[in-house]
């Protein structure tokens, strides 16, 4: 029996954001697409990093007025689609390039899932790209891995 691989559990729909959009636009994009993060591209389409909800919360909470809404972002995700306005993401001067992690983690699609999970744990990351040669063919998140533990019937 063949082991389950990154290619078996990845999401082939890779949604990216540009590094020049504002944090407010990023928050809207993530909520609209019901995702917690995305790879970041520059103006030429080159992958230059990754950004997540955690990065937004860090920016919002750095201000002098940290409120309970920003601290409970994850708990509120499903219940309130208007969350970006509520957590105070309104500064149009902060761009994704300023808050993103400038590293792109990737694994080959044939990598076995236990190895993928080990790399994610060691690197303290929640998503990585899945590649076939030099081409990105999907994205894999901790939610995808957790889905393997849930009986979907």
13 three-state secondary structure? coil
- Domains of the chain (ranges plus CATH)? 6-147 (3.10.580.10)
**Section 13-17 average pLDDT:** 94
Mean pLDDT of all residues in 87-110: 83
68 or 133, greater pLDDT = 133
Sign of CA dihedral 28, 31, 37, 38: negative
pLDDT over 90 at 30, yes or no: yes
Distant-in-sequence, close-in-space partners of 111: CB < 8 Å, separation ≥ 6: 5, 6
For residues 66 and 58, the answer to whether their CB atoms sit within 8 Å is: no
pTM over 0.85: no
Percentage of residues in the chain with pLDDT exceeding 70? 78
pLDDT category, 89, cuts 50, 70, 90? low
Query: What is the rounded distance in angstroms from the CA atom of residue 59 to the CA atom of residue 94?
Result: 9
In which band, very low, low, confident or very high, does the pLDDT at 63 lie, cut at 50, 70 and 90? low
CA distances from 73 to 29, 32, 39, 60, 110 (A): 15, 15, 21, 11, 35
What does the pLDDT look like over 35-46, one tens digit per residue? 989 999 999 989
List the one residue out of 21, 24, 20 whose CA is nearest residue 91. Answer: 24
56-67: average pLDDT: 66
């Amino acid at each position: 029996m063949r082991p389950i691989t990154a290619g078996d559990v990845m999401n082939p729909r890779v949604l990216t954001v540009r590094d020049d959009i504002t944090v407010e636009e990023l928050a809207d994009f993530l909520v609209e697409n019901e995702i917690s993060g995305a790879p970041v591209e520059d103006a030429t389409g080159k992958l230059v990093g990754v950004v997540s909800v955690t990065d937004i919360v860090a920016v919002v909470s750095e201000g002098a007025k940290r409120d309970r809404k920003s601290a409970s972002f994850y708990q509120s995700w499903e219940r309130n689609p208007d969350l970006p306005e509520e957590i105070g993401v309104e500064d149009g001067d902060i761009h994704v390039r300023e808050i993103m992690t400038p590293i792109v983690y990737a694994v080959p699609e044939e990598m076995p899932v236990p190895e993928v999970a080990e790399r994610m744990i060691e690197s303290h990351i929640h998503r990585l790209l899945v590649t076939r040669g030099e081409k990105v063919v999907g994205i894999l998140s901790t939610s995808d891995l957790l889905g393997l533990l849930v009986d979907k019937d």
